[in-house]
Amino acid sequence: MKTTFYDTIKDLSWEKVTESIYNKTEKDVELALSKKYLSIEDFKALISPSAEKYLETMASISREITQRRFGKVIQFYLPLYLSNECSNHCIYCGFNHNNPIKRKTLTEEEIIEELKAIKKMNMDNVLLLTGEYPSLVGVSYIEKAVELARCLFSTINLEVFPMKIEEYERLIKAGINSVYVYQETYNEKRYKIYHPKGMKSNYKYRLSSQERLALAGIHRCGLGALIGLEEWRTEMVFMAMHLRFMTKNYWRTKYAVAFPRIRPAEGGFQPNFIMSDKEFAQTIWAYRIFDNDVEISLTTREKPSFRDNLLSLGITSLSAGSRTEPGGYSKPNDELEQFHISDDRGEKEIEDMVKKQGYEVVYKDWDRILN
């Protein structure tokens, strides 16, 4: 039987990994920065407190790698929330089943209305999202939404509940390019605290989602952790292990990473750990140096000035003009949103900012003719 990522980490001690990160020295950082191919130990050095005095060097290296690998372009995309119905009880999420928010699932007519509203924003790259409620918003519903989107969009991505291989194959056939499944936290011992009930409470099944996606033949899949739940440096090391496992064992698939910070949402959950803007930037640069090919996005969870400053230093995609509630582009309603965004600028304003920095905006990275 093939070794899974869970097999590779199940016996690791979270506390010992944390200790190993904080034991890294400046010499370890210098050694990591001198290498062409970095190990996990090198990544630990770059994410450690000892790397603080090398951040300017890391930023410079990250910029050079990104421009060489991706060019001076930034890909734009928009999230389209199909439903905020959710059977999960994630204590940090505005869609938590117990939260007294208004619930809505878009009809086919409403999906088309949203798609047309997004198309008017010049977007050609859409990310379809739902809460996790398969009995109401299942594979057939998502498949229909993808088919509707294919009439207007070249690039269609998903961020939905984990599925079986054959279900992913079905959606790939319908026209999806990418699927993002965020583990939220890799700390298995504490995972249940944050996900006490619902589908998402199954740590191992969620963790193996990327492996099922790769076996199904997905073009690209995304990994992620939610910053604020557990010690963030340790979280990032486990995610780097996950990324390295996937690139070694499933090299035909492209990969993307994201590490969104917790934003205010219904329920009032407060982060247990804080990542500063400087530490967020350090994480981006560490990932870029660790894996030259990985795609890194920066969402509207982050402040406008922060996104502007990091544009040229390692990221590859930006969301612009985002709404986080079902129907938000045609009929905005803050009562339905998953969380409050921080960068509420329109896509045209963000596009102007990107161009002023000498970068080109790309609205799609895939063409219909290739499908």
The residues spanned by each domain of the chain are: 5-364
**String of b and e for 323-334 (b: at least 16 CB within 10 Å)?**
bbbbbbbeeeee
Spatial CA neighbour of 163 closest among 218, 206, 102: 206
For residue 81 the two structure tokens come to 């929330």
Mean pLDDT of 341-361: 90
Q: Where are the beta strands (DSSP E) in 28-177?
A: 73-83, 125-130, 155-159
Q: Which residue has the higher pLDDT, 330 or 294?
A: 294
For residue 100 the two structure tokens come to 């007294």
Q: Which residue has the higher pLDDT, 268 or 32?
A: 32
Whether the per-residue pLDDT at 84 is higher than 80: the answer is yes
Please give the DSSP secondary-structure letter assigned to residue 135.
T
Strand partners, 225: 184
Mean pLDDT of 54-68: 97
Tell me, what's the pLDDT at 346? Answer: 86
Is residue 312 very low, low, confident or very high in pLDDT (cuts 50, 70, 90)? very high
Q: Rounded CA gap, 125 and 127, in Å?
A: 7
Place of tokens 């090919």: 293
Chain segment 96-107, per-residue pLDDT in tens: 888 878 899 999
Tell me, what's the pLDDT at 259? Answer: 93
Tell me, what's the pLDDT at 94? Answer: 79
Whether the per-residue pLDDT at 314 is higher than 90: the answer is yes
Q: Rounded CA gap, 10 and 160, in Å?
A: 25
**Identity at 360, one-letter amino acid code:** E
Strand partners, 44: none
Is residue 340 very low, low, confident or very high in pLDDT (cuts 50, 70, 90)? confident
Tell me, what's the pLDDT at 157? Answer: 96
Whether the per-residue pLDDT at 293 is higher than 50: the answer is yes
Helix axes 232-249, 277-290, angle to 10 degrees: 20
Mean pLDDT of 40-52: 98
Spatial CA neighbour of 291 closest among 78, 40, 26, 105: 40
For residue 14 the two structure tokens come to 């979270």
Domain 5-364 has CATH 3.40.50.2000: no
Tell me, what's the pLDDT at 50? Answer: 98
Spatial CA neighbour of 96 closest among 252, 203, 200: 200
Whether the per-residue pLDDT at 338 is higher than 70: the answer is no
Q: Rounded CA gap, 115 and 109, in Å?
A: 10
Q: Which residue has the higher pLDDT, 133 or 183?
A: 183
In sign, the C-alpha dihedral spanning 229, 274, 94, 100 is positive
Whether the per-residue pLDDT at 365 is higher than 70: the answer is no
Tell me, what's the pLDDT at 18? Answer: 98
Spatial CA neighbour of 160 closest among 140, 185, 136, 134: 134
Q: Do 111 and 145 form a contact (C-beta atoms < 8 A)? A: yes
Q: Do 127 and 79 form a contact (C-beta atoms < 8 A)? A: yes
Within the chain, what is the greatest distance between any pair of CA atoms?
Answer: 60
Percentage of the chain beyond pLDDT 70 is 95
Chain segment 136-184, per-residue pLDDT in tens: 899 999 999 999 999 999 999 999 999 999 999 999 999 999 999 999 9
Whether the per-residue pLDDT at 266 is higher than 70: the answer is no
The pTM of the full predicted model, rounded to 2 decimals, is 0.94
Is residue 369 very low, low, confident or very high in pLDDT (cuts 50, 70, 90)? very low
Of 95-99, 193-197, 272-276, 354-358, the range with the lowest mean pLDDT is 95-99
Q: Rounded CA gap, 201 and 297, in Å?
A: 26
With vertex at residue 154, the alpha carbon angle to CA 148 and CA 160, rounded to the nearest 5 degrees, is 60
Mean pLDDT of 14-41: 98
